[in-house]
Amino acid sequence: MAIEVQPSGMACGATVRGVNLRAPLRTRDIEALRAAWLDHLVLAFPDQDLDDDALERVTLAFGPFGEDPFIAPVPGRQHVLAIERRADEATPLFAEVWHSDWSFLEVPPAATLLHGRVIPPVGGDTLFANQYAAYDALDDTMKQRLQGLRGIHCAARGYAKDGLYGEKDIGRSMAIRPSDDAKQSRTHPFVHTHPETGRKCLFVNMGYTTGIEGLPADEAHDLLLAIFRHQAEERFQYRHHWSTNMLVIWDNRCVTHKATGGYDGHARLLHRTTVAGP
């Protein structure tokens, strides 16, 4: 069975067929999948009926498990999280703001894997934005302005006790564990050189980037707003449509992503792992 990679035709993303992820992967298949992942940034594997053992095995083919703060793993697992929503849930949608996963960590994850277990018949697409393309499209003046800047990343707006998913967030099905540890911030280069491809990309996001080191708050605010608008333009996007038993792996270092709704009245469940960076 030969691995077949079909590009989405959008700014990134490809669908991969011809590989059975339930079986242990051969070294040459892992190399081919890694190469496709670095080329296309987001890979979707339809019709992969994976249990958590298989999901963990595929994850480890890409690298060691990453750290996952603020969300408890599913029972019996250390590294598998449930991204879920009940049919009758009324809480604000989870992760509806553009972000890259856990960008506030010292070493954010290299990859995130999401496996669709219960997928609603409508809505629930995930949007991705290619941050190599977003960087490349900046004019030279802006590229120079951003060079050397460091973004301040912090999870407090989401995961602190007074955050969006904090103590006032009642009725959410996800096992979120808010903590004042979320108030800690870390900085990362605004323009990041990808450690595997050597290409430059933007590494800031509306979800977690709260300021710019060394810049006054109003100046940082204006620049961040301009970049947030730019980096999510439709020309950089890939809209991912889910199906049951689809696995998606994305490169968290060079894409941002966001959830979308539109499935009120339907349950949704995905299992997630991360691969440690860089």
Interacting residues with Fe ion (CB under 5 A): 95, 101
- C-beta of 15: minimal distance to Fe ion in Å? 20
* Choice between 3 and 107, CB closer to Fe ion: 107
* Choice between 32 and 130, CB closer to Fe ion: 130
- State the Cα angle at 207 between 137 and 94, rounded to 5°: 125
Q: Peptide bond preceding 75: is omega within 30 degrees of 0, i.e. cis?
A: no
- C-beta of 33: minimal distance to Fe ion in Å? 21
* Choice between 111 and 138, CB closer to Fe ion: 111
- C-beta of 66: minimal distance to Fe ion in Å? 12
- C-beta of 219: minimal distance to Fe ion in Å? 28
Residue type, 94: F
* Choice between 172 and 221, CB closer to Fe ion: 172
**Strand 14-17 relative to strand 42-45: parallel, antiparallel, unpaired?**
parallel
- C-beta of 257: minimal distance to Fe ion in Å? 6
* Choice between 112 and 138, CB closer to Fe ion: 112
